[in-house]
Amino acid sequence: MTTALSYAHGTSTTPLLGETIGQNLRRTVERYGDREALVVASQNYRVTWRQFWDATTAVAKGLLALGIQKGDRVGLWSPNRFEWTVSQYALARTGAILVNLNPAYRTSELEYALNQAGVSVLLLAKGFRQTDYTQMLAEVRPRCAGLREALVLDSDWDRLMKGGAKIGDDVLEARELSLQFDDPINIQYTSGTTGFPKGATLSHHNVLNNGFFVGEVLRYGPEDRVCIPVPFYHCFGMVMGNLACTSHGSAMVIPGEAFDPLAVLQTVQAERCTSLYGVPTMFIAELDHPRFGEFDLRTLRTGIMAGSPCPVEVMKQVQSRMHMGEVTICYGMTETSPVSTQNPLDDTLEKRVATVGRVHPHLEVKVVDPDSGAVVPLGQPGELCTRGYSVMLGYWENAEATAAAIDRAGWMHTGDLATMDGEGYVKIVGRIKDMIIRGGENVYPREVEEFLHTHPEISEAQVIGVPSVKYGEEVMAWVRLKSGASLTPETLTAFCTGRISTFKIPRHWKFVDSFPMTVTGKVQKFRMREVSIAELGLGDVATIKTA
């Protein structure tokens, strides 16, 4: 008797798009030129598809005037603004590689990304919230030899758009004709298990098709208006958001630079949005807002909840109180462009909250024994692997890490533990790696540990995730001090502030003389987590039922 194995592939009668992002956008403009393309409420910005195309043309020519060549890396460091989206498509049309820089970056992270990617031109906002980007750039620029130009969106945008006036249409057209859909077009940094972020390198084919098929599952069309409060620097915003819209003629509606629940509610009502994105904490903040009842959200139909597990009660409320009966769950990772599985629109509540859906069209997933690599029987946990068009080209300038992530058969090893049922539904049950997901942000303990080890009074630090009602998980550090040292949680928090991203700074600190160890000397992080949950009184939080 043959045992059914945990393998599924996404069959589809809709073919993959064999074109570049620019070619795809051109077709959308030709079909829907006078319909609205992009609305940014916080900037009072509103353009049609034809106007959006003209803006990307002007910026693309401006970049060519700066000497940007195909394959050059151009950094973009900004919160959600119209300039981000225009630049995303302008860069794709020039063949330059967009390097996404997290708005939360501090100096050490900025310097590392600029140098590791070899960024030659940087587009940056003047600042964000209380952070002065220009000041931070001035601090690191002497150590970034390859950076030859930095343009501040707030003051240099018009100059960039007008700078290409002498570049003829034929020059830009020739550049576009030289591009192939398998060319690298985007580098997105993922927190590194080795202490340094890795640059997942993605092609036109990777991200355009993933955005397109996300939109296909959501049944997007030109009448849809998608509210995107999730960040553009992440695949959630620029692929599942922007590229899903531009490949279907759906309007991109941006509430503001960063998430604000009131701005989202106001924007959904004012712009009559049909779809809304967010991580669970965003939906919780919207539902819990004291003014929630004032807003008419009946135009909403669908949307995406992703980034971390969704509590069952939250899903029920999103479907009923927010009228999002067709909301879906997505699962994936930056290295897979990002979506590998998604719930169909007609799934039952049980399937939406208990699984992360089924494999996407034109992709394969399997669950394997982490030790042997053999595909496991249905229902048995193992490591989830993905293969197909969505798998990244590799980590930028890091062949060793690429080989460790993508095996010789082309499978991307996710590091997540999963099960698959007889209908092909996947459930994430744990993580092989000890990655922490805090409010949709991935935090790799090793990266935080490496940073803490730079403190002269710390002998050893071990970082774990502990349960949190608000964020799903919070970062906690166990610290062993050097002899005679005396530190407090407050001094360590101050040490981290401004040097690593806020979401990576431990919320909880524990000073110890030793760590729980195996007989072979390996730290037992599961024991650390058990002890921490008990000491912090988080036992009830740890039992909250999630998808």
Which residues of the chain are modeled with pLDDT < 50? 192-194, 547
Which residue ranges make up each domain of the chain?
21-420, 435-543
Which one is the CATH code of 435-543: 3.30.300.30, 3.40.50.10540, 3.40.50.720, 2.40.30.10?
Answer: 3.30.300.30
CA distance 153 to 382: 46
Q: Name the fold adopted by 21-420.
A: Rossmann fold (3.40.50)
The model carries a pTM of: 0.85
Span 76-109, pLDDT tens digits: 999 999 999 999 999 999 999 999 999 999 999 9
Span 242-298, pLDDT tens digits: 999 999 999 999 999 999 999 999 999 999 999 999 988 899 899 999 999 999 999
Supply the pLDDT for residue 190: 87
Supply the pLDDT for residue 193: 40
Supply the pLDDT for residue 541: 74
Domain 435-543 in the same topology as domain 21-420: no
Q: Which residues pair with 276 in a beta bridge?
A: 227, 303
**CA distance readout (Å), 506 to 259, 295, 444, 487:** 22, 36, 12, 15
How many CB atoms lie under 10 A from the CB of residue 536?
16
Amino acid identity of residue 395, one-letter, is Y
Span 425-463, pLDDT tens digits: 999 877 777 778 899 887 878 788 888 988 999 988 899
Q: What is the CA radius of gyration of the chain?
A: 23
Sheet holding 363-368, edge to edge: 7-9, 363-368, 382-388, 412-420, 426-431
CA distance 105 to 500: 7
CA distance 239 to 232: 8
Supply the pLDDT for residue 490: 97
Supply the pLDDT for residue 546: 52
Q: Do the bridges between strand 275-278 and strand 225-227 make them parallel or antiparallel, or are there none, so unpaired? A: parallel
Supply the pLDDT for residue 307: 78
